[in-house]
């Protein structure tokens, strides 16, 4: 119980930090929402005069875009830069002296900000659904349960990818290039830019073998009911596999980094 309290306090502090700097956070969040609207109208133009593309109707595509927005919102720029920032400014040295696991502490911080990000995203999506007709939503409670579980697993996978990318800052004097490269690769191979069904056959098969598809593709398939209950459970199992694998990879990379690299800064 003491361990749980220790990391839950980190989660609470992370949430308080977000609330303390809420103006900056809200501006960043709203810019992401504006980006969603831009993509929405882009796809609306693409679908003009067409009933379906790549197996998706326009109503399904609207739902896909909302799921993408929600999945990306629960672990955003704020969480990513907080990890790399600790490494670049040298404050990670203080974490080495604390009786906590660095990786678990960063995940606890991510959970804190994700509670607020996920809550606000859900409200905005609700408003969007009420103001837009034809959005495809499931009517079976079990689908919502599976989707929430899948969304949490997606966050774990994305955290693993973000954490590994952030640790590269041990060998770099800046994080912007690493962050943008990570975002580009993740958005492409997760299906955040376009659904994987729109990819050439070889690229779709490759993307389905990599962990990135667990971030967007899997939750969207479950929410759009493109997988039945048994298939959804299998997809969540794959998400959990990648989440655990990336967590282990993060631990290995952390041990390697703190042994061999001199920290720039403090």
Q: What is the pLDDT, as a whole number, of residue 88?
A: 78
- How far is residue 229's CA from residue 144's CA, in Å, rounded to a whole number? 11
Q: For residues 113 and 14, is the Cβ–Cβ distance under 8 A?
A: yes
- How far is residue 240's CA from residue 150's CA, in Å, rounded to a whole number? 9
Q: What is the pLDDT, as a whole number, of residue 265?
A: 45
Q: Taking the model in full, what pTM does it have? A: 0.88
Q: Which residues of the chain have pLDDT under 50?
A: 263-266
- How far is residue 84's CA from residue 81's CA, in Å, rounded to a whole number? 5
Query: In terms of Cα–Cα distance, which of 131, 18, 31 is closest to 82?
Result: 18
Q: For residues 187 and 177, is the Cβ–Cβ distance under 8 A?
A: no
Q: What is the pLDDT, as a whole number, of residue 141?
A: 92
Q: What is the 3-state secondary structure (H, E, C) of the chain?
A: CHHHHHHHHHHHHHHHHHHHCHHHHHHHHHHHHHHHHHHHHHHHHHCCCCCEECCEEHHHHHHHHHHHHHHHHCCCHHHHHHHHHHHHCCCHHHHHHCCCCHHHHHHHHHHHHHHHHHHHHHHHHHHHHHHCCCCCCCCCHHHHHHHHHHHHHHHHHHHHHHHHHHHHHHHCCCCHHHHHHHHHHHHHHHCCCCCHHHCCHHHHHHHHHCHHHHCCHHHHHHHCCCCCHHHHHHHHHHHHHHHHHHHHHHHHHHHHHHHHCCCCCC
Q: What is the pLDDT, as a whole number, of residue 264?
A: 46
Q: What is the pLDDT, as a whole number, of residue 190?
A: 93
- How far is residue 256's CA from residue 150's CA, in Å, rounded to a whole number? 31
Q: What is the pLDDT, as a whole number, of residue 149?
A: 95
Helix, coil or strand: residue 55: coil
Alpha helices in 132-228 (DSSP H): 141-167, 176-190, 201-209, 217-223
């Amino acid at each position: 119980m003491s361990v749980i309290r220790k990391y839950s306090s980190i989660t609470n502090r992370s949430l308080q930090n977000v609330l303390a700097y809420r103006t900056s956070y809200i501006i960043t969040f709203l810019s992401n929402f504006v980006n969603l609207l831009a993509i929405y109208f882009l796809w609306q133009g693409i679908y003009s005069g067409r009933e379906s593309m790549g197996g998706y109707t326009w109503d399904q595509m609207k739902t896909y875009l909302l799921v993408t927005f929600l999945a990306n919102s629960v672990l955003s720029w704020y969480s990513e830069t907080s990890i790399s920032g600790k490494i670049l400014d040298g404050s990670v040295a203080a974490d080495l002296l604390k009786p906590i696991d660095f990786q678990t502490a960063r995940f606890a911080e991510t959970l804190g900000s994700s509670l607020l990000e996920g809550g606000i995203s859900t409200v905005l999506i609700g408003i969007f659904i009420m103001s837009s007709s034809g959005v495809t939503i499931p009517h079976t409670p079990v689908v919502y349960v599976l989707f929430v579980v899948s969304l949490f697993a997606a966050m774990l996978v994305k955290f693993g990818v973000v954490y590994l990318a952030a640790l590269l800052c041990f060998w770099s004097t800046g994080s912007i290039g690493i962050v943008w490269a990570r975002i580009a690769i993740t958005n492409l191979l997760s299906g955040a830019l376009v659904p994987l069904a729109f990819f050439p056959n070889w690229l779709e098969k490759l993307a389905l073998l990599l962990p990135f598809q667990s971030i967007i593709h899997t939750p969207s398939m479950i929410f759009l009911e493109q997988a039945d209950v048994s298939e959804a459970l299998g997809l969540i199992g794959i998400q959990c596999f990648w989440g655990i694998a990336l967590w282990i990879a993060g631990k290995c990379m952390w041990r390697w980094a703190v042994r061999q690299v001199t920290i720039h800064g403090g």
